[in-house]
Structure 1
Amino acid sequence: MRAKVKGWEIIDGEEESLADPERGGGWVRFMVGIDEGPGDESFDVLVCTPRWLKERISQDGPVLGRHILVTCPLELREAVAFLTRRFEEELADDWASLGERLSQLGSWEFENY
């Protein structure tokens, strides 16, 4: 089976933070299921610029690099298109295996469930 992005949204409160192409950053939620079936589950990705990341590190200390897309400038539509392609490249024999593969890209709502 192949993954299919069925929708995406900016997580509440992140709209303003993602608007700045040079200093932006925030979480984007992708709803992903299988290409020929109903249902989906969420996978969250932090989309940010190097400057945003540097500022966070200065404030909060080191950041682990999982589920992060760093881009400059931050063009949200381009970042979403890139991530959609990456999600939809993933194949597996069953949903559990596919979810594990997808969780390498985004934080899966059922990871370690």
Structure 2
Amino acid sequence: MIKAKLKAMWSIDHDLKTYIPEDKNEFYITLNLPIGSSKTDGADYFDLFVCSPEWLCKHQWEPEILRHTLVVRKYDLDEITETINKYIEKCTCKTWEETAQKLSRYFAWEFEDYSD
């Protein structure tokens, strides 16, 4: 079985070590998540849009099915990381391809819809 592991996490817009939203209750951030097998150094890249309900209420005008989005009540990087890891733990499969496909239900995978 392939157990997936979050190898790192960053945002191209903010330094996660120092980032504090102006309003912890109304924010959004896109996270880049290299995730790979716990037995190897390699990883595929996944993205996740994280926002607060207040941000959605003010900026999402049209009805839309939201995919690859985590809605949280406040910006708490530890809580966000813990939530991401809980979803990753649900994605253990026999092969990396199956594992990555399962991960792509929650996170935007770099190879989603890719064909040779």
Question: Deviation string for 1:40-61 (max 9, x for gaps)?
Answer: 0111111110011111113xx2
TM-score normalised by L of structure 1? 0.86
Residue number in structure 1 paired with 2:33: 30
Q: Work out the CA distance in 2 between the residues paired with 1:57 and 1:36.
A: 40
Gapped runs of 5+ residues in structure 1?
none
Where is the helix percentage greater, Structure 1 or Structure 2?
Answer: 1
The one-letter code of the counterpart of 1:35 is S
SS in structure 1 of the partner of residue 35 of structure 2 = strand
The one-letter code of the counterpart of 1:95 is W
SS in structure 1 of the partner of residue 7 of structure 2 = strand
Are 1:14 and 1:27, in contact at CA under 8 Å, matched by a contact in 2?
Answer: no
Deviation at 1:74, TM superposition (A): 2.2
The one-letter code of the counterpart of 2:94 is D
Residue number in structure 2 paired with 1:69: 70
Q: Work out the CA distance in 2 between the residues paired with 1:85 and 1:18.
A: 24
Gapped runs of 5+ residues in structure 2?
none
The one-letter code of the counterpart of 1:56 is H
Deviation at 1:81, TM superposition (A): 1.9
Q: Work out the CA distance in 2 between the residues paired with 1:64 and 1:53.
A: 12
The one-letter code of the counterpart of 1:97 is E
Query: Does the C-alpha gap of structure 1 residues 85 and 5 become closer, same or farther in structure 2, counting only changes over 3 Å?
Result: same
TM-score normalised by L of structure 2? 0.84
Find out whether 1:5 has 2:6 as its counterpart.
yes
CA RMSD for the aligned pairs?
Answer: 2.0
Residue number in structure 1 paired with 2:92: 91
Find out whether 1:45 has 2:36 as its counterpart.
no
Following superposition, which runs of at least 4 residues in structure 1 exceed 3 angstroms of deviation? none
Q: Paired residues, what number?
A: 110
Are 1:18 and 1:48, in contact at CA under 8 Å, matched by a contact in 2?
Answer: no
Q: Work out the CA distance in 2 between the residues paired with 1:66 and 1:18.
A: 25
Are 1:31 and 1:43, in contact at CA under 8 Å, matched by a contact in 2?
Answer: yes
